[in-house]
Structure 1
Amino acid sequence: MNILEKNIQALASGTNEPLALKLNDFLKNQKCTRFSLDENLNIFDLKNQVFMYNDVNQEIDYFKNAILEKTLRYPFVCIYGIGNALLLKSLISFYKYIFIFESEIELFILALSVIDLSKELSNGKIYLVDINEEKVNMQLSILFGQRDMFEYLSLYEIFMNSYYQKYFIDEISQINDKIYETINFIIRNLDPSSKIPLICYDNFIQNIPLMLKSIPFQRIIQERKNQFENCIVVCAGPSLEKQIPLLKKYQENFVIFCADGAFPLLYKNDIIPDYILNLDLEEYPIEFFKDIDINKLEKTLFILAQSTHPSVVNFLKNINFAIVLNGDITYEKLNLFDFGYLEVGTHVGHMCYTLALALGFKNIIIIGQDLAYNDKGNSHFSDFILGKDADLALNIPSLKTLAYGGVKEVFTHIGWDDYRKKLEFLFANNTQANFCNATEGGARIAFTKELSFKECCLKFANQKKKILEIPKKLTSNRSDKFLKKVIEILKKDLHIINQTLEDAKILYNALEKILLNEDKLPLNFLSNIYKNIENFNFVLEKNEIFKEGIFRGIFFKRGFELSQIITLKIQEEEKYLLLMIKVYKNWLILLIEKLITIKGSLEKII
């Protein structure tokens, strides 16, 4: 096996299979016609009639030193242009990750023919990004969303040599914009001051007893999967009203998944959904379900997230309902396979789509998913219980985005725009189903087929849906056994939280006392103190509980604050360590606050 084959095999092993397939396809069907490699490993650009380097070794050394100087103590580096890959080998020992962005398939081929990078490519230390890959935005989200990456996203900058800077400036600008867009998207979802993760966790803890007495979600999947191919997901956007007549006409031909906010409009028009979903942290959704005739919903299933407000769960406890757990470490460790798991996302529409996928639907028709204001400035349909301009009243920063149909632009806001990107990620990674966007308004959603609702109804309304029996609940005895098992697991969590809380307080008090004499602290002493911090970090890293979603924001805050010191490029080790210790001490205050809150939630059930 030659070097190129070895490198491509390493890519195919999991780090970047799409690029490996693209390289193999090129090798089978094409030859390098724009770039060539001479005996000195210099690359010649036939289009521009220029060599990449005047002097290969000299320029690589200069570029290497320039990068190292600007990224002192950085955990990762981003470079545009793979070059001849010799630079990568010389930089490997200085970084945890190296990300290479490239647009030219021939340059990937030539570079991977020069030097064996298979070990680094297979373990992800070097990651190659084809900026022409259709799903490059998704790749960036996965790469930069890793635990040991998202903490340090504020350190991002991209480096390129003079050749790339001269001939690929447009490509560099485009990928740079996409990277910044991805970073901003990730950071917005890691707000350390947000109370949402803690509220979700507290709601879940309170919901456990009723969850164990509800219909096990897994029974719903087992008994109903692949029973029907066509469904409609109904969301509460302003365009929904115009789709009601057709929805009513064809409701017997489609399984209907309904976002909770859209339910009153459907109910008012004698349209009974098969599934009604909710994941709201607050209790206002009770308003959606007041004054309804329970008998009309005897064949309807309410699917609630583990984070649904306990008051909503309690209000619906006499109706057919199931609580499904999110696919997160927090919940998966409970081993409650009868009651989960589903990627519920952050919006109820997302939950509708993942449920439809879990149930094996092949054609998923979308209506009311505007994700934008209509011409009158409304965010929801006119009779929406919380107000047709409910989102407008929230004063979320607005922006323009491509409209449905791909011609005009519409006004949206940051929250919807982030949600749209999450949907696109979901749709792009679930090609086993057809997502037909029949909203006929609002924002364009990539990886969906835009068809009118009428077209969808005529195309897919080819049979009547089956009336399915409601799955049975667990016996009281089995439910009680599950509860005991959950409590034992959560007791272990509480023990870890208590121990970590005690250690964090001890470390904080020690750092506070030490820093009172900061002017007299020698390097050896500071190094030993910082080792204590690293040991505490090691405990946090190795324990699974701290990999859970409720801690992501707090760890982002840790990395962000430490990054502010790293960017100062401080040469003196004493000064650098002293500042890092100060920052860490302040971060411990936030960690302690979060641990105390989580402890309080756990004590509610234990």
Structure 2
Amino acid sequence: MSILEKNIQALVSGVNEPLARKLIDFFQNSKHVRFSLDENLNIFDQKNQVFMYSDIEQEIAFFQKSILEKTLRYPFVCIYGVGNALLIKNLTLFYKHIFIFESEIELFVLALSVIDLSEELRSGKIYLVDTKEEKINAQLSLLFDQNDMFEYLGLYEMFMNSYYKKYFIDEIAKIDRIICDNINLVIRNLDPSSMIPLKCYDNFIQNIPAMLKNISFQRIIQERKNQFKNCIVVCAGPSLEKQIPLLKKYQENFVIFCADGAFPLLHKNDITPDYVLNLDCQDKTSVFFKNIKSLDKTLFVFSQSTHFDVIKLVCESKLNFSIVLSDSLYCKNINMHDFGHLDTGTHVGHMCYALALALGFKNIVIIGQDLAYNKEGNSHFNDFILGKDLDSTLNIPSLKILAYGGEDEVLTHLAWDDYRKKLEFLFANNTQAKFYNATEGGARIAFTKELSFEECCLKFGDEKKKSLEMPKILTLNRSDKLLKKVLENLKKDLNIINQTLEDAKVLKDALEKILSSNKALPLEFLLSVYKNIEHFNSFMDNNSLFQDRVLKGVFFKRGLEISKIILAKIAEEEKYLFLIITAYKVWLVLLIEKLNIRKESLQKII
């Protein structure tokens, strides 16, 4: 097997099959050759009539030395240009991850033909990024959200040699903007002071008994998957009202998924959705479910993080409902796989599309998904219960983006823009279905086809949907057995948290005592203290309970403070370690606070 074949095979078995396919296609079919190798593995650029290196060994050594000096103690490095890959191989000794960005597939082929990087590519130590890949945002959002990456995103910097800096400056500027956008997208969801992750966890814990006594999500999938091809997802944007007459006319021809905020408008207009979804961790959304007459054909689907007051209300109203576990690790860790999991995302529209995909729909029509203000400055339709201008009162930074239709711009805000990007990631990675954006307003959403709602109704609404029986709930005996099993797992979690709290407090007290001693601390002693910190870190980083992302913002804070110290480029080891110990002591205070809150949630059910 050739070196190129080994490297391509490693890409396929890793997480970069799209690049592997591109490399194979280029190698087999391309007749145009822009770059070539001489006997010294120097690369000649025929377009610019120049070699990549004037002195290959000297330039690679100089570039390597320059990168290492500028990235002292960095866990990762980003480089534009694959070059001849010798530099990349050399740098693997110094970093956990190396990201290589390149726009020329031919250069990838040349580099991977002469240097064996298969082990590093397979393990994820080296990641090659094709900057012309259509789904690059989806790739980067996954890469930067890795557990050993998101903490240190503040260290991002792009390095390139003189050749790339001269001939690829526009490509470098473009990919730099894309990278920064994706980094900011990850970071915006990592506010260490936010109580939302812990609130979602608390709701999840309190919702477990109700989940076990009502319709199993897995049973919904088993009984209803692939029963229909065409559906409509109804969201609560300002454009929704104009679509109501057509929706009412064709409601018997489509399965209708309805976001909770849009449900009162449909109910008022005698439109009966098949599914109504909610994932809001706050109790304000309970107003959407008040004074509802019996709806035998409607199934209400709630996320495990839905506020327990909403669940209480639908129980009292005797509505048919299911609580679905998200694909969050904290849901998977309690071993309730029989109940199924769903990629609920971070907003109800995302959850609607994910459920439609899980049920096997092939044509998903979207209405009311504006993700932008309309011309009057409204964020929702006129009769929206929480106020048609709700989002304008939230003080979220606004920006202009490409509008529906692709010709104008529309005003949105950061949260909506993040939702849009996450939807594009979802749509890009689910090519088994086609998404038709019939919103006819708001923001343009990539990986959807824009088509008017009327055209969609005519195209897909040609036959009546058949009636489906409501899935049955579990027997009381089965429900009680499952609850007992869940409680046993949660008791184990509580024991681990109690022990971790004790260890964290002991470590914090020890660090406080050391830092308040006002003595000159020798390097050997500081190293032994740092070893204790590393031991505690290792325990936290390798325990699935703490890597379930409930405390993701807390871990981001740890990396953020360490990154600040790394960026100071402190050569003196004693000073560096002293600052690390100081920062870690402060971080332990935050960790202890959040662990205590999580402990209180577990105690409510145990």
Name the TM-score, length of structure 1 as normaliser.
0.99
The equivalent residue for 2:471 is 471
Matches within 5 A, 1:32-51: 33-51=33-51
Secondary structure of residue in 1 paired with 2:92: helix
State the distance in 1 between where 2:464 and 2:113 align: 58
Alignment of 1:429-444 (within 5 A): 429-444=429-444
- Indicate the SS of the match to 2:463: coil
Can you list the C-alpha shifts for 1:148-199, whole angstroms capped at 9, x where unaligned?
Answer: 0001000000000011000000000000000000000000011111110000
Q: Tell me the amino acid that sits aligned with residue 310 of structure 1.
A: F
Quote the Cα distance in structure 2 between the aligned partners of 1:4 and 1:279: 47
User: How far does the alpha carbon of each residue in 1:46-70 deviate from its partner, in whole angstroms, 9 at most, with x for none?
Assistant: 1111111110000111100000000
Residue 519 of structure 1, CA deviation: 3.6
Aligned to 2:307: 309
Alignment correspondent of 1:208:
208
Which residue number in structure 1 is paired with residue 194 of structure 2?
194
Q: CA deviation at 1:319?
A: 0.8
- Structure 1 residue 292: Cα displacement: 2.3
Alpha-carbon deviation of 1:340?
2.5
Contact 1:34–1:46 (CA under 8 A) maintained in structure 2 = yes
Counterpart in 1 of 2:547? 547
CA–CA distance in 2 between the matches of 1:285 and 1:210? 18
Say whether the 8 Å CA contact 1:32–1:106 is kept in structure 2: no
Structure 1 contact 302–320 (Cα < 8 Å) conserved = yes
Alignment of 1:119-268 (within 5 A): 119-268=119-268
Output the CA distance in 1 between the equivalents of 2:289 and 2:543: 42
Letter in 1 for 2:296: E
**1:131 alignment partner AA:** T
Quick one: distance in 2 between partners of 1:509 and 1:32?
A: 66
Provide the residue aligned with 1:595 in structure 2. Answer: 595
Contact 1:80–1:158 (CA under 8 A) maintained in structure 2: yes
Q: Which letter maps to 2:327? A: G
Equivalent pair of 2:138/2:425 in contact (CA under 8 Å): yes
Note the 1:388-537 alignment, pairs <5 A: 388-537=388-537
* Offset of residue 518 of structure 1: 4.7
Maintained 8 Å contact 1:324/1:341: yes
2:464, 2:112 → 1: CA distance? Answer: 56
- Matched letter for residue 103 of structure 2: S
Distance 1:94 1:353 in 2: 42
Deviation of 1:32 after TM superposition, in Å, equals 5.4
Counterpart of 2:307 in structure 1: which amino acid?
H
Does the CA-based 8 Å contact 2:11-2:19 persist in structure 1? yes
1:14 shift after superposition: 2.1
Task: Read off the aligned partner of 1:305 and give its amino acid letter.
Answer: S
Cα distance in 2 for residues equivalent to 1:343 and 1:12 = 24
Q: Matches of 1:62 and 1:122 in 2, distance apart?
A: 28
Where does the alignment leave 5 or more consecutive residues of structure 1 unmatched? none
Letter of the 2:297 counterpart = K
| Structure-to-structure mapping, 1:21-60, within 5 angstroms | 21-31=21-31, 33-60=33-60
Partners of 2:41 and 2:15 lie apart in 1 by 26
Cα deviation per residue 1:298-339 (whole Å; 9 max; x = unaligned)? 111000111111111000011101100111110112222343
Determine helix, strand or coil for the equivalent of 1:401: strand
Q: Deviations over 1:385-411 (max 9, x none)?
A: 111001111111100010001110000
Q: 2: distance between equivalents of 1:249 and 1:420?
A: 29
Pick one of 293, 296, 299 that aligns with 2:297.
Answer: 299
* AA partner of residue 310 (structure 2): V
The worse-fitting range, judged by mean Cα deviation, of 514-523 and 550-559 is: 514-523
Question: Contact 2:14 / 2:121 at 8 angstroms: preserved in 1?
Answer: no
Q: What amino acid does structure 2 have at the position aligned with 1:404?
A: Y
SS of aligned partner of 1:141: helix
Q: Does the CA contact (< 8 Å) of 1:19 and 1:130 recur in 2? A: yes
- Give the Cα separation in 2 of the matches to 1:338 and 1:545: 20
Alignment of 1:320 with 2:325, yes or no, is no
1:291 deviation in Å? 2.4
Unaligned runs of at least 5 residues, structure 2: none
| Paired residue secondary structure (2:420) | helix
CA contact (8 A) 1:100 1:126 kept: yes
Amino acid in structure 2 at the alignment position of 1:272 = T
The alignment covers a number of residue pairs equal to 604
Preserved CA contact (<8 Å) 2:298 2:320: yes
Partner amino acid, structure 1, of 2:569: K
User: How far apart in 2 are the matches of 1:29 and 1:422?
Assistant: 34
Which shows bigger deviation, 462-471 or 143-152? 462-471
Decide whether the 8 Å contact of 1:323 with 1:339 is kept in 2: no
Amino acid at match of 1:111: A
Contact kept in structure 2, 1:437 and 1:449, CA below 8 Å: yes
Deviations 1:330-357 (A, max 9, x none): 0112222343311111111111111111
Q: Please give the alpha-carbon distance, in whole angstroms, between the structure 1 residues aligned to 2:396 and 2:367.
A: 24
Once residues 277 and 3 of structure 2 are traced to their aligned partners in structure 1, the CA distance between those partners, rounded to angstroms, is 53
Aligned to 1:347: 347
Distance 1:264 1:464 in 2: 24
CA distance, structure 2, for counterparts of residue 289 and residue 114 of structure 1: 64
* 1:459 CA displacement: 0.4
Q: Which amino acid aligns with 1:602?
A: L
Q: Report which stretch shifted further, 28-37 or 570-579.
A: 28-37
Q: Distance in 2 between matches of 1:337 and 1:144?
A: 28
CA contact (8 A) 2:382 2:388 kept: yes
Q: Per the alignment, do residues 62 and 32 of structure 1 end up closer, same or farther by CA in structure 2, a change over 3 Å counting?
A: farther
Q: CA RMSD in A?
A: 0.9
Secondary structure of the corresponding residue to residue 148 of structure 2: helix
Which residue identity is paired with 2:578?
L
Identify the residue that residue 107 of structure 1 maps to in structure 2.
107
**Structure 2 residue matching 1:47: 3-state secondary structure:** coil
- Report runs of 4+ in structure 1 exceeding 3 Å deviation: none
Q: Where does residue 19 of structure 1 map in the other structure? A: 19
What is the rounded CA distance, in whole Å, between the counterparts of 1:108 and 1:8 in structure 2? Answer: 10
- In structure 2, what residue type is equivalent to 1:490? L
Distance 1:504 1:531 in 2: 15
Q: Which residue of 2 aligns with 1:578?
A: 578
Contact 1:15–1:123 at 8 Å: present in 2 too? Answer: no
Secondary structure in 2 matching 1:544:
coil
CA deviation after TM superposition for structure 1 residue 523, in Å: 0.4
Equivalent AA in structure 2 for residue 34 of structure 1: R
In the aligned structure 2, how far is the partner of 1:97 from the partner of 1:196? 30
CA distance in 2, matches of 1:406, 1:497: 51
User: What is the CA–CA distance in structure 1 between the aligned matches of 2:116 and 2:221, rounded to whole Å?
Assistant: 47
Separation (CA, whole Å) in 2 of partners of 1:240 and 1:12: 43
**Is 2:333–2:545's contact at 8 Å kept on the other side of the alignment?**
no
* Cα distance in 2, alignment partners of residues 504 and 337 from structure 1: 32
Could you say which residue in structure 2 is the equivalent of 1:3? Answer: 3
- Partner of 1:546: helix, strand, or coil? coil
Task: Write the distance in 2 (CA, Å) between the matches of 1:55 and 1:32.
Answer: 27
Whether the 8 Å contact between 1:216 and 1:339 is mirrored in structure 2 is yes
- Alignment-mate amino acid for residue 243 of structure 2: Q
Give the AA of the match of 1:246. L
